[in-house]
Structure 1
Amino acid sequence: MQNTDIEIIVIEDEADILELLEYHLGKEGYAVTGFLSSENVEQFLEEENPALMIVDRNLPGLEGSEFVAKMREVGYEIPVIFLTAKDKEKDLEEGFVSGGDDYMTKPFNTKELLLRVEALLKRSGVRLSDKLKYRDLALDMQKRELFIDDKRIELTNLEFKLLHTFVKNPHQPLDRDFLRDEVWGDDSINFHDKTINVAMNRLKKKLDPEAVKEYFAPVWGVGYKLL
């Protein structure tokens, strides 16, 4: 997995939202530590060096922006994204004044949050891993190129996204709806039942023309998984 040396702290008092964030960030390859309040975070910061914090404003005890302001006073400069149901102008201003770097209001779009995390990490100088390896597949995320045993394999942008989605989720059956949303996204208007089958067959032929390596297996009634 990529990014595992990049640690992110999530402070969120709603357990289901915390779990959701831990799952999606973990799926992107980040190391994630979750807290239901700010109570033990300062002690954690003394021992660890996280690259970013995602902080809910409405926390029990010390409110999120107060906690961040306190961290800033002590000297911590970790980038912070606030999550909050407070979306009035004065609330936004308060968040930035207390030391926040970005802001998302609830309910939030998970994909957008992941993009903001990536953008904030880049701005703060944290290098995201741009090479991803699985078996003999080597994906260059920056150039969006695939190499198998140092030989470059020509993939379309869509095929690269499809392969990347499987490499991020190895050995897991990925259903068609998930693949459609992850890979085709907004283009799924032109999506048909056989679209995934056609794309998978093309990808398999490019990766394994002799059909001897068995990268993928169909999962009956669900979709496919990367072996």
Structure 2
Amino acid sequence: MKDLIVVLEDEEDLLELLEYRLGCEGFDVIGCVKTSSAKKILLEEDVALLLVDRNLRGEEGADFVKKIRKEGYQTPVIYLTARDAREDKIAGFESGGDDYITKPFDFDELLMRLKAIIRRHKGHLEASIYKYKNLSLDFQNHSASIDDTTIALTPLETKILAIFLKNTGRCLSREYLLEEIWHSDGELKSINVAIKRLRKKLDKSDEEKYIKTIRGEGYLFA
């Protein structure tokens, strides 16, 4: 499975070049010009590294990184930016950046740095396994298993299932789930859609087995 790199860059020529060059190096690459697009990818995909410009449309790059760090995302971040003042570099690292590269840059050096950071980050990850009855969740590998059947999950589905497994037997309101998952940066209908997809993977029949809907209150994992 290829590592996924998300490139946040509003200079379209450079964005296309990075997508092409990183793709040639064996990475899956998604380019974004807006932080909102990158945030959506973080929710749905297993991102190995974020390559972030400081000068973005609508939101400064370091502000975006600071925000996702507060929300619990530990995805490695390399700033790739023309802002080369000492105070800019300090602000980049203080916001949660793992490295800071200024433009113009050498692609081979960028490649070596991002490979080293991805390798180091993977080495620090510890597998988190949650178990309940005949179901287990491998948080790191985004998969669940029921008896001997393995089920692939998206990062978003993994996060939702982990919350349920930590709160078995407790009815969780949609508002609670919204706050835990999106930190209120979302809509209640997003919860309904996400849980419907997760339930379809876990409960192969129409009968509710793991995730039960409690009308007017929320969801119960039992």
Q: Report TM bin, short chain.
A: 0.5 to 0.7
Query: SS at 1:75's partner residue?
Result: coil
Report how far residue 122 of structure 1 moved. 1.3
In the alignment, the residues of structure 2 paired with residue 35 and residue 120 of structure 1 have an alpha-carbon distance, to the nearest angstrom, of 21
| Aligned ranges 1:78-117 → 2 under 5 Å | 78-117=75-114
The residue that corresponds to 2:56 in the other structure is: 59
Distance in 2 separating the partners of 1:21 and 1:115? 14
Q: TM-score, normalised by structure 1?
A: 0.53
Q: How many residues align?
A: 124
Q: How does 1:207-222 map to 2 (within 5 A)?
A: none
Give the one of 116, 120, 132 matched to 1:119: 116
The Cα of 1:5 is off from its aligned counterpart by 2.1
Offset at residue 126 of structure 1 (A): 6.0
Structure 1: tracts of 5 or more residues without a match: 128-227
Other-structure match for 1:194: none
Match of 2:38 in 1: 41
Would you say the 8 A contact 1:9–1:50 is kept in 2? yes
2:67 is the counterpart of 1:70: yes
Deviation of 1:49 after TM superposition, in Å, equals 1.2
For each residue in 1:137-169, what CA deviation from the matched residue of structure 2 results, as whole angstroms up to 9, or x when unmatched? xxxxxxxxxxxxxxxxxxxxxxxxxxxxxxxxx
Cα distance in 1, alignment partners of residues 83 and 37 from structure 2: 24
Partners of 1:45 and 1:121 in 2: CA distance: 16
5 Å matches for 1:130-145?
A: none
The code of the aligned residue for 2:11 comes to E
Q: Which protein shows a greater Rg?
A: 1
| Whole-Å separation in 2 of the counterparts to 1:26 and 1:43 | 21
Using the alignment, how far apart are the partners of 1:44 and 1:112 within structure 2?
26
Q: Is contact 1:10-1:18 (8 Å) kept?
A: yes
Equivalent residue number for residue 22 of structure 1: 19
TM-superposed CA distance for 1:39, in Å, is: 2.2
User: Post-superposition shift, 1:125?
Assistant: 1.8
Distance (Å, rounded) in 1 between the aligned partners of 2:5 and 2:88 = 24
Question: Share of identical aligned residues, percent?
Answer: 51
TM-score, structure 2 normalization: 0.54
1:11 aligns with 2:8: yes
Following TM superposition, the consecutive aligned residue runs of length 4 or more in structure 1 with deviations greater than 6 angstroms are: none
Q: Is the 8 A contact 1:51 1:126 kept in 2?
A: no
Change (3 A) 1:18 1:126: farther
Cα RMSD (Å)? 1.4
3-state DSSP class of the match of 2:47?
coil
Q: Name the amino acid aligned to 2:33.
A: L
| Distance in 1 between residues matched to 2:38 and 2:115, nearest whole Å | 22
In the alignment, structure 2 segments of 5+ residues that lack a partner are 125-222
CA contact (8 A) 1:54 1:80 kept: yes
- Residues in 2 aligned to 1:22 and 1:126: alpha-carbon distance in whole angstroms: 25
